[in-house]
Amino acid sequence: MYHSSFFPNATAALALLCIVGFACAPALAASSYTTVYNFQPDNPGPFSPLVADSAGNFYGVAAGPGAENGTNNGIVFELSPPAQEGGSWTTTTIFTFNGTSDGNLPESGLVIDGKGNLFGTTFGGGSGTCTLGGANVGCGVVFELSQSGGTWSETVLYDFQGGKDGRNPQYSPMTFDAAGNLYGTTIFGGGKACSLHVGCGVLFKLAPPKDGGSSWTESVLHRFTKKQGTSPQGSLLYLSGLLYGMTSGGGANNAGTAYQSTLKGKVTVINNFDGGAGGSDNFPGGLVADASGSLYGFTYGGGSSNYGTVFKLTPSGGTWSETVLYTFTGMADGGNPVGAPALDKSGKIYGNTQSGGNSAYCGFTSQQNGCGVVFKVESSGANFKETVLHTFTDGTTPSADDGAFPAGGLMIGKNGALFGATQIGGTGACYSGKGSDLGCGTAFSVAP
């Protein structure tokens, strides 16, 4: 999970609070937060973004029962809105992984097709042999969940074998092209380069069966190298016949890259993050596009205070230029944004961070600068300003069991509200290995 990997220093120098071109403190919106659902021990908070079907049901992946003692294999759940306004949302576990043949640890978000079928990946499990820390965790699978008569069933579309075909997809939701082919990435595999000597990750394609067949066909489109970026993570974006994505390391400055790929796997680096003011891409969340074809994203680290940035990539004459729209300080404005941005029709950018927000000690971590925020970034004259829409408290404020550590990006619902989830907090009782009740996480909405 993301929250196990915090590294920024929570004590930013006061000199860094006033950044040229931005206000010294974020604007604060009136609270409009609603807890949609308090996750419980049998379906604790998800690691990744939610997806919605046409009826307004949300779907996600989570650790599942046994998360607090490491005995879980993962679940897929459905979160359904109330039949009448003001009623309670309900959650249903629609599939539980067995940890071996059908996959283990679904850590990437889902993608949904026009028929309501769900597609995703697991980090481990499957028939392949891949070791981490001396233990075989499996190499991961690509799966489909389809519904018939109210019952969901899984089909494993592909078993990664851990060699040139890739291994261990992580925090990387897939995408469809116009013809119904699936595209995704793995964090490892593809060769013998990079730190584990198993490859820097791959970009793969899964083609659906033809003429009534039952088997999907995997092809590796690209094997990443340190020059192009290593360990691709975050959601893929399909746009006008091309794929866009991000890597968590490598590139010219070893701080990650943004890349463009043809559907045949010709990869072009469109931005090298510099690790400093231009951002460092430790946990890339993915890119979104506006109507003009410009791309927007977040970096988890980098920026003047090393708490991440909001950036824009603009194409011109075959090249791309990066503009940093906002730099997080890790204080009241939040720090370490995760997930892909949510972009509305007016160009406002929405997201959430995993740290910052206030000076309260948060949960079981050592960070003392807050539990994260939901934010909006929009143009203000020649510059951009940030507005904090909600500050997470993990229940430290009375009647505010709102959770902590948002898990992924936000979704914009039909009514314009923002929807997301947190990994911990809320009223559910989930315990750490030391016996502390962390909460099981929440699903939430925020009116922008």
Three-state secondary structure call for residue 31: coil
Taking the CA atoms of the chain, what radius of gyration do you get in angstroms? 20
Q: Residues 170-214: pLDDT tens digits?
A: 999 999 999 999 999 999 999 988 877 899 999 999 999 987 667
Query: Across all residues in the chain, what is the average pLDDT?
Result: 88
d(CA 142, CA 291): 31
8 Å CB contact between 446 and 70 = no
- Cα dihedral 283, 288, 292, 293, rounded to 10, equals 60
Q: What is the pTM of this model?
A: 0.91
Q: Is residue 309 predicted with pLDDT exceeding 90?
A: yes
Q: Is residue 260 predicted with pLDDT exceeding 50?
A: yes
d(CA 418, CA 115): 24
> Of 206-215, 325-334, 374-383, 429-438, which range is least confident?
429-438
Bridge partners, residue 121, by sequence: 142
Average pLDDT over residues 75-89: 91
8 Å CB contact between 433 and 69 = yes
- DSSP string covering 403-419: -EEE-S--EE-TTS-EE
Q: Is residue 356 predicted with pLDDT exceeding 70?
A: yes
| Phi, psi for 257 (deg, rounded to 5) | -140, 165
Q: Residues 278-304: pLDDT tens digits?
A: 999 889 999 999 999 999 999 999 999
- Please name the residue ranges forming H helices in 39-174: none
pLDDT at 184: 98
Average pLDDT over residues 99-123: 95
Nearest 5°: the CA angle 88, 107, 419 is: 35
> Of 251-255, 330-334, 438-442, which range is least confident?
438-442
pLDDT at 28: 58
Q: Residues 20-63: pLDDT tens digits?
A: 333 345 665 555 889 999 998 888 888 889 999 999 999 999 98
> Of 134-138, 209-213, 389-393, which range is least confident?
209-213
Q: Is residue 442 predicted with pLDDT exceeding 60?
A: yes
User: What is the pLDDT confidence band of residue 419, given thresholds at 50, 70 and 90?
Assistant: very high
Helix, strand, coil shares, percent, the chain, to 5: 0, 45, 55
Nearest 5°: the CA angle 222, 224, 225 is: 140
d(CA 393, CA 400): 7
8 Å CB contact between 96 and 152 = no
Q: How many CB atoms lie within 10 A of CB 240?
A: 7
pLDDT at 67: 55
d(CA 152, CA 95): 7
User: Which two tokens mark 255?
Assistant: 């701080």
Three-state secondary structure call for residue 5: helix
Q: Is residue 401 predicted with pLDDT exceeding 80?
A: no
pLDDT at 14: 24
8 Å CB contact between 425 and 363 = yes
Pairing of strands 51-52, 33-38: unpaired
Which one, of 64, 41, 190, 69, lies nearest residue 122 by Cα?
64
Q: Is residue 399 predicted with pLDDT exceeding 50?
A: no
